[in-house]
A and B are shown apart, each in its own frame.
Chain A
Amino acid sequence: MNPVDLARKLRREAAFEPTALARGRETLMAAIRQEVEPRRRPTIIPQLPYENVGAALSFLERAFGFQVIPASRLEGTDGVVHHALVEFGDGVIGIGTQGAHGAISPKSGGVESQYVSVAVADVVAHYQRALAAGARIAKEPRDQGSGAHAYEAIDPEGHRWRFVHQRLREVR
């Protein structure tokens, strides 16, 4: 018997929830809305310089769970990304090609002139994700006297990131 006909005989339908299509549509519409009505942006947006913006974006997504805002991507005619905004929670930062506004990646400059502090709900889970994605860990997760639990990681171009969960003091 023809192998394609045999394969065809294994085709089987699956029964769906009637609401499945509506839920799928909602996922799409949320993505459309995100593009149509840019959310309120923070007043201050730090810009970090990189040698390789594309590689930086994929690392930041993979290791730290940041999300590129699709409509913000600026690409050259060669398809190379020059700049994009990434968001995490309600924070936004810009990832751009070094030199465009004077700033230089620590990889080229050899110095870290700043670090970025990011609030996360679960420091250990975040740490494990970053570790699995190959982030260099500068400080292992630990409790700090002030009630903060934090770790620090260095991204592939040497920018330092501090991920912190601040335990609030109990209000009496």
Chain B
Amino acid sequence: MSSPSDAEVIGRSLGEPEAFGLIYDRHAATLLRFLGRRAGAKVAEGLVGELFRIAFERRKAFDPARGSALPWLYGIGSNLLLKHRRGEARRLRASARMAAGPETTDGRSSAAALDARLLFPRVADAIETLPDDERQALLLFAWEELSYQGVAEALELPIGTVRSRLNRARARLRELLESKGKGRVTSR
């Protein structure tokens, strides 16, 4: 006996609203982690119920041809995160410090660690300065590992638009990293 697809469950929930609880049980942990990566645990905990409440209220608009509800839920979550951009930026900078590794004071830090300390804050800044639409697409692709098709469903865009947005984001990141980078990694 196979379990019903998300589309079938959402279809059923139009007549039996309680059925939507199954969508929560299937995907809430994934979405909670997604919101947490972007805006931190505290904000995520406040948003996850709101995300599913919005999804429940919009369930009539869910396209049953999609099968899985996950990209659609990611899309609703991405929109909610737009209101929390400042927290997101803070968290991105903190992630950059973590990725760069701890500061060492004993002078034994390797050249690679030094490079990382200079590089990651610039990556964070570069991601932060991307326009919302490009940042959303990039992070769904890079962090959530959605396919192009998944990103397209999440952001309700044609797949070609997703491809060009991701290409623009890549080019802009590369440009921002290179223009700020060169000539600064010279000391030592």
Contacts and interface: CB of A to CB of B under 8 A. Distances in A.
A24 B142 contact: no
Interface residues of A, number: 29
Contacts of A21: 28-29, 32, 48
Nearest to B50: A27
A6 interface: yes
A30 B33 CA distance: 22
Nearest to A15: B41
Nearest to A75: B60
Interface residues of B, number: 47
A11 B142 CA distance: 8
- Please report whether the interface of chain A is mostly helix, strand, loop or mixed according to DSSP: helix
B9 interface: no
Interface stretch (B64-72, B148-156, B157-165, B169-177): B169-177
Interface in A10-47: 10-17, 20-21, 23-32, 35-36
Nearest to B58: A70
- Most chain B beta carbons < 10 A, residue from A14, A21, A30: A14
A16 B30 CA distance: 12
Contacts of A101: none
B142 A12 contact: no
B17 A25 contact: no
Contacts of B138: 4, 7
Contact of B120 (A9, A16, A28): A9
A25 B28 contact: yes
Nearest to B43: A14
A31 B57 contact: yes
Nearest to B19: A32
Contact of B41 (A16, A26, A36): A16
Interface of B: 17-18, 20-21, 24-25, 28-29, 32-33, 36-37, 40-41, 44-45, 48-53, 56-57, 91-92, 94-96, 98-99, 119-120, 123-124, 126-127, 138-139, 141-143, 169-170, 173-174, 177
